[in-house]
Structure 1
């Protein structure tokens, strides 16, 4: 096994998840947003369920606690997250969307302090949380060139922020549910349930219909890439790295992904990367480092060793 196996997998995962923002923007040209997200998870959910059946002996939830876990994951971490994200990305550049979504680990820590009483925010932690919001504010105003464009510039990015908010809330609430469902099974059923919810949302939106889909090679490629690589394969890599490296390392993927979002958005969609986008990213990342400073200092030697050893 390669000495740098973990580092390679980390980069691949960041590339898949970062370039997903570009693929979403590309596919939105041909498919209504919430319907697009639903179709993505129709495919990804079936693939993940097949994998769960193959690798676990508990491929479906059985207890009320397990179904509650799937319900929270499907409603918040799949349906709400992706409905807000796909609608918001219609008018949000790939890099900016990726940076706003990278606020999720910061929001997750904030929610943990509220819903998990054993967790408490220190003054530095509060400063980190506030910095995260400042970074998002910088991004929200990055493309507002005039007062007339202010509303149309900010509202889509608020929707992307609500996506990060939903995912972070779901992450914390699932920790409060007592259930020992294999993570592959939980992800599979959450994806399928979330896809079903998004189909319902899409039907309820007057602006969306199946007839509005333009079946083009670009649309097919976007759905295939998001379903197979960014979702199914991406989560398999995620599971592997989570076992080997831990939660701090997985959070750091969120701060490498915007780099790939910026590169692929520029290369494939000619999206410019503005100085304010870079500034917003730096502010959000600084907030994360403040919030997680103790965990990072404690885990950094182990993470570095795991990267170099490939264990």
Structure 2
């Protein structure tokens, strides 16, 4: 990342979505998963439409060119990704799901070759991505019997959610942004919410009658809608436009780190030695992927020459 602002936004999104895991765990105690996700994006869409209208932004998409990022982002990044993930997690343990989602940074560079996105990783960068994936596996620490014995439906669904997210990021990045940002993202949230409501209607046990409204559940929906939904995805799409799908996909390696630390602080979950080892492996992978930025930072710290232009990785 070429400036401090994208790096700060990258870490902020990782922190927001990492804390979202704790809020999700709280909300799922009283809300069906797909309906839970649909409600959070309902509220996020209303919030963003309200902010866009208050700012006086144009709310109506002008034509096909502006509908394309709305549909790709809303359907794939928000709707299909969350629908498949929630459906798949009914059949596989969360550790297996975490490992499968860790494939996003690995498949994204391959998907960019099928699009107009030109971001590429060198072999050393790919090694760094591989180390990041190894770190996620180490943190998740899945039981090998779960990997072998997991329901094939669950593995297929979660893997599909990872591919939907990666493909959605590539397609959204490839479209030119001409619509006001808040209005565009409000439409994405609305489209994603519609997809999730449709998925909720098809999944067993997903109905309003299954909802047990509690203070904690309501607070979880509000937090995930306002912070992880409206703010988190707004920052994510801002970052996606500026650094591309390959680098932004590395969020999937930082989010488990944040989620583990927040779970330890907020819920008293233990940090196993394998978790700490996973942190170290992920850090080593990031150093390899961003070695050019690290070199330039060290030069500045040592008072050396002005930083040189960075490589693509």
- Please state which band the TM-score falls in when normalised by the shorter chain: 0.7 to 0.9
Contact 1:48 1:184 in 2 (8 A): yes
Higher helix share: 1
The corresponding residue for 1:218 is 216
- Equivalent position of 1:92 in the other structure: 94
Q: CA deviation at 1:237?
A: 5.8
The DSSP-based 3-state class of the residue aligned with 2:178 is coil
**What's the offset of the Cα at 1:169?**
1.5
Q: Deviations over 1:66-100 (max 9, x none)?
A: 1121111011110122224445667426xx97787
Q: Which has the higher contact order (CA 8 A, sep 6+)?
A: 1
Count of aligned positions? 295
Contact between 2:166 and 2:249, CA under 8 Å: does it hold in 1? no
| Alignment correspondent of 1:144 | 143
Aligned residue in 1 for 2:16: 16
How many Å separate the matches in 1 of 2:282 and 2:151? 19
CA separation of 1:260 and 1:157: change in aligned 2, threshold 3 A:
farther
5 Å-filtered alignment, 1:127-142, equals 127-139=127-139, 142=141
Q: Residue 34 of structure 1 contacts residue 86 of structure 1 at CA under 8 Å; is this kept in 2?
A: yes
Runs of 5+ unmatched residues, structure 2: 302-313
Q: Cα 1:136–1:242, aligned 2, differ >3 Å: closer, same or farther?
A: closer
Aligned to 2:49: 49
Q: CA deviation at 1:143?
A: 3.5
SS in 1 for 2:60: coil
The TM-score, its normalising length taken from structure 2, stands at: 0.74
Report the Cα distance in structure 1 between the residues aligned to 2:255 and 2:86, rounded to whole angstroms.
17
Task: Determine helix, strand or coil for the equivalent of 1:116.
Answer: coil
Relative distance call for 1:148 and 1:283 in structure 2 (3 A) is closer
Unmatched segments (≥5 aa) in structure 1: 305-311
Whether the 8 Å contact between 1:71 and 1:190 is mirrored in structure 2 is yes
Query: How many Å apart are 1:30 and its aligned residue?
Result: 1.3
Change (3 A) 1:99 1:59: farther
Contact 2:24 2:220 in 1 (8 A): yes
Structure 1 range deviating more: 44-53 or 159-168: 159-168
Q: How has the CA–CA distance of structure 1 residues 85 and 66 changed in structure 2, closer, same or farther, with 3 Å as cutoff?
A: same
What is the root-mean-square deviation of aligned Cα atoms in Å? Answer: 4.1
Maintained 8 Å contact 1:110/1:129 = no
1:79/1:198 contact within 8 Å kept: yes
Equivalent runs, 1:1-40 vs 2, <5 Å: 13-40=13-40
Distance in structure 2 (CA, Å) of the matches to 1:153 and 1:271: 27
Contact in 2 for aligned 1:144/1:154 (Cα 8 Å): no
Task: Give TM-score, length-normalised by structure 1.
Answer: 0.74
Residue deviations 1:157-211 (CA, integer Å, cap 9, x gap):
8765654432222111112334522332221101100100110011111232221
